[in-house]
Amino acid sequence: MLKNKTIGFYIAFFSGAAAVVASIAYLAIYMATAAETVDRVFSWFTFGFMLAGGLIATAGELTRMKWIPLASCACFSLALANHAVEFAYPLADVLTKVPFFGGNYPLALTFTIIFGVIALASVTAAFMKHE
């Protein structure tokens, strides 16, 4: 199954696996830090698309479907874009030094970087040969 695979396959496969782990960590950490309500930055849309993209990428690479990188890139991009929009609220609070919108800035920044790296790796792997 792993015979004759190139670096593009491994980047795509590991970005998919990292997306599954990151989306589960995203859900678990935000639910664990919720006192009365979940943090403003958490979004079920982000969680769903990141998890779906990770599962699509991982399964698609193992089944050798040629169009899978496009679907996983689309899912990762939608999840990253939505999280970036939600990240703007705590970022505005930090930049203006006025706690108005709320949100956990360090946690939001961490997941923005993680989701960005996963999306970038997936897009890079989409333009590479996989076998």
How many Å is the maximal CA-CA distance in the chain?
Answer: 56
The rounded radius of gyration (Å) of the Cα atoms in the chain is 16
Task: Kindly report, residue by residue over 63-97, the tens digit of the pLDDT.
Answer: 877 788 889 999 999 999 999 999 998 898 889 98
57 is written with which tokens?
A: 């990428």
- pLDDT band for 35, please (50, 70, 90 cuts): low
pLDDT tier at 37, thresholds 50, 70, 90: low
Structure-model confidence comparison of residues 89 and 5, the more confident one: 89
Ramachandran quadrant class, 13 (left: phi over 0; alpha: psi -120 to 50; beta: rest):
alpha
pLDDT at site 54: 95
For the stretch 43-57, pLDDT in tens is 899 999 999 999 999
| Three-state DSSP class for residue 3 | coil
Alpha-helical segments (H) within 64-104: 68-96
pTM of the model: 0.88
Distances in Å between the alpha carbon of 56 and those of 15, 33, 38, 94, 121?
11, 29, 27, 36, 15
